[in-house]
Structures are given as C-alpha cells and as structure tokens.
C-alpha cells in the first residue's frame, strides 16, 4: 500500500534555505563571540606571553595570579570601581525603570490636557545624543556643587525617555481599562492599582527597560569622565581606561586592564541570565491573548 505525499506547502522552508540560515547564524554568532574569546584567552596570560604569543591561542594559564594582582593593585581600587559601577548601574536602572513605568502608565491610562505633547517631549529625548547634553549637565551640577559626587552620575542616569515610550506602549496593550475600573470599584487607590496590577502585567517591558538602563549605565564612559575627579568614585569603565592609558609607563597594567575587562562582563551576563525568564513568560502570555 502506497501513500501519496502532497506537495510541500509554499510557506514551508526547504532544506537549502534552512541550511543557509543555520550557516549564517553560526557565522554571526562566531563573529560576535570572537572578542569575548580573545578577552578570555589573553586574560589567562602573563605579560610576556601576551606580547609574544598568538592572541587567539592559550599559553601558560595564569588566570588565578592575574585575578589576585588585579584586586591587589593600588590597595584594591578595582574592587572599589566595581562597587561603584554596581551602585551607579543597579541604583540608576532600578529608579529609572520605576519612573519610566509610572510615567508611561500615567500617559497611557489617564486623560489630561497636553498628554500627547508630553509624550512627544519624551520621544524627543530619545533622539538627543548624550554628547549634546554633556556640557549642560556639567554646568548644572557644577552650579549646585554636585560634581565629583555619586549624585553627578546617578541623577542623570535615572532618566530614560525610551523607557517612558516602551512603558506607555506596553501599558496601553497589556493593562485593560476594565481591570483598573474593577480595582477602583473595590476601593483600591491609584498607587495600589499601579503596584499590584499594572506592574505585574507590565513586567516583561519593565525588565527590558531595566536591562537597557543597566547596560547603558554600566558601559557609560562620558559622564564619569566629565563629572568625576576622585579616583575612589570612578566606575570600572573609566578606571580601566586610565590603566590602559598608562601602559607605556607600567606594562603590567596591560594585563590588568584585560583581566579587569573580562571581570566587568560577568555582572552583565548574570543580569541577563537571571532576568530572561520574565521575557519567556511575557512571550507566552502574548501568544495566548
């Protein structure tokens, strides 16, 4: 008994297209992971091996010694820089996400005069480059005596125009007006409705805003360069830049800068891995709506 197989559906990709797509994705993954591999390989080398061996080949592995030298250099200043980066990125991203969520939710769910104008200003903030705001920010903070303090980096970091935009769009789509009205009928206040109902429904968008803010603040270089003079307030990015600029005077700093760059990637990886479950839950929720 023979079974006839019908023609392949037009929207079903063929083996050639699937294989081509897989090859392309593998090449792109290798391209993006190559700098990380180079960083990992060279972070395990001594200063001599760093300049005499191939940059993509392992030599005598001395990662433990390099890490010990990294955290012992200048009385452990790298640990201080790492703590500063966590304060700047973690605190700025958390507060910035909360403010963006409240602003986006308010614009999406409340009708008031000038709502669209306000939202237009938020969209305009996305288009303004950070370099254009650097000098005005410095003059403002210098006028109130806040330069060379934690606040000089933290306060500008909590502003997220893109977060306001994304929160507004997601609140309009995922928070039903009927649910808000039901909460009001039950006697819940506006803040309680926001924190107990809206925040949970907006969780995937808020995680996205938090990650964008965290990465942007963690990698921020221009703002600390302008605002800070005390080395104890530097984040990792600016501290490693100073070490790299002094390699001609002290060659040992070359290895330390590479090892420090490898260590600085770890918090970003941990943050992405620990928060990805919120993205999966958001995609699953959207698929059944």
Higher pLDDT, 20 or 92: 92
Count CB-CB contacts under 10 A for residue 138.
15
Let me know: does 161 contact 125? Beta carbons within 8 Å. yes
Map tokens 């606040």 to a residue. Answer: 151
Task: Return d(Cα 182, Cα 164) in angstroms, integer.
Answer: 25
pLDDT tens-place string over residues 9-33: 556 777 778 888 899 999 999 998 9
Nearest by Cα to 227 from 157, 152, 154, 158: 152
Nearest by Cα to 79 from 239, 228, 199: 239
Q: Write the DSSP symbol of residue 149.
A: S
pLDDT tens-place string over residues 169-183: 999 988 899 989 998
Q: Work out the pLDDT band at 280, boundaries 50, 70, 90.
A: low
Which tokens go with 267? 């918090």
Task: Return d(Cα 49, Cα 3) in angstroms, integer.
Answer: 65
Count CB-CB contacts under 10 A for residue 81.
24
The rounded Cα 128 to chain-centroid distance in angstroms is 19
Cα angle 130, 276, 157 (rounded to 5 degrees) comes to: 20
Q: Work out the pLDDT band at 188, boundaries 50, 70, 90.
A: confident
Identify the structural domains of the chain with CATH numbers, from first to last. Answer: 29-66 (no CATH), 77-287 (1.10.3720.10)
Which tokens go with 76? 């452990």
What lies within 8 Å, CB to CB, of 86 at 6+ separation is: 267
Q: Does 91 have pLDDT greater than 50?
A: yes
What lies within 8 Å, CB to CB, of 157 at 6+ separation is: 88, 89, 92, 93, 96, 213, 217, 220, 223
Dihedral angle computed from the Cα positions of residues 106, 156, 210 and 240, in that order, rounded to the nearest 10 degrees = 180
Which tokens go with 189? 């206040």
Compute the average pLDDT of residues 36-62.
89
**Number of helices (H) and strands (E), helices first, in the chain?**
16, 0
Compute the average pLDDT of residues 121-135.
85
Q: Does 4 have pLDDT greater than 90?
A: no
What lies within 8 Å, CB to CB, of 172 at 6+ separation is: 108, 109
pLDDT attached to residue 260:
95
pLDDT attached to residue 282:
52
Q: Work out the pLDDT band at 289, boundaries 50, 70, 90.
A: very low
């Amino acid at each position: 008994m023979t079974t006839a197989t019908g023609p392949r559906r037009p929207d079903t990709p063929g083996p050639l297209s699937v294989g081509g797509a897989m090859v392309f994705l593998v090449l792109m993954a290798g391209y993006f992971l190559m700098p990380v591999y180079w960083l990992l390989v060279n972070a395990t080398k001594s200063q001599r091996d760093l300049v005499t061996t191939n940059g993509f080949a392992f030599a005598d592995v001395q990662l433990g010694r390099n890490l010990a030298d990294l955290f012992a250099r200048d009385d452990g200043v790298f640990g201080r820089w790492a703590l500063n980066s966590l304060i700047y990125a973690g605190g700025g991203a958390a507060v910035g996400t909360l403010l963006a969520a409240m602003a986006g939710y308010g614009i999406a769910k409340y009708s008031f005069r000038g709502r669209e104008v306000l939202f237009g200003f938020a969209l305009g903030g996305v288009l303004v480059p950070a370099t254009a705001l650097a000098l005005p920010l410095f003059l403002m903070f210098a006028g109130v005596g806040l330069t060379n303090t934690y606040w000089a980096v933290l306060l500008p970091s909590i502003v997220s125009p893109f977060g306001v935009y994304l929160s507004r769009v997601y609140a309009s789509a995922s928070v039903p007006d009927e649910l808000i009205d039901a909460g009001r009928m039950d006697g819940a206040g506006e803040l309680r409705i926001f924190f107990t109902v809206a925040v949970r429904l907006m969780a995937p968008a808020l995680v996205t805003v938090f990650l964008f803010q965290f990465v942007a603040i963690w990698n921020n270089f221009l703002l600390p360069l302008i605002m800070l003079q005390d080395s104890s307030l530097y984040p990792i990015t600016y501290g490693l830049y100073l070490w790299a600029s002094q390699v001609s005077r002290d060659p040992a700093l070359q290895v330390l800068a590479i090892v420090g760059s490898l260590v600085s990637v770890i918090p970003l990886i941990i943050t992405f891995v620990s928060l990805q479950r919120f993205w999966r839950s958001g995609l699953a929720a959207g698929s059944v709506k």
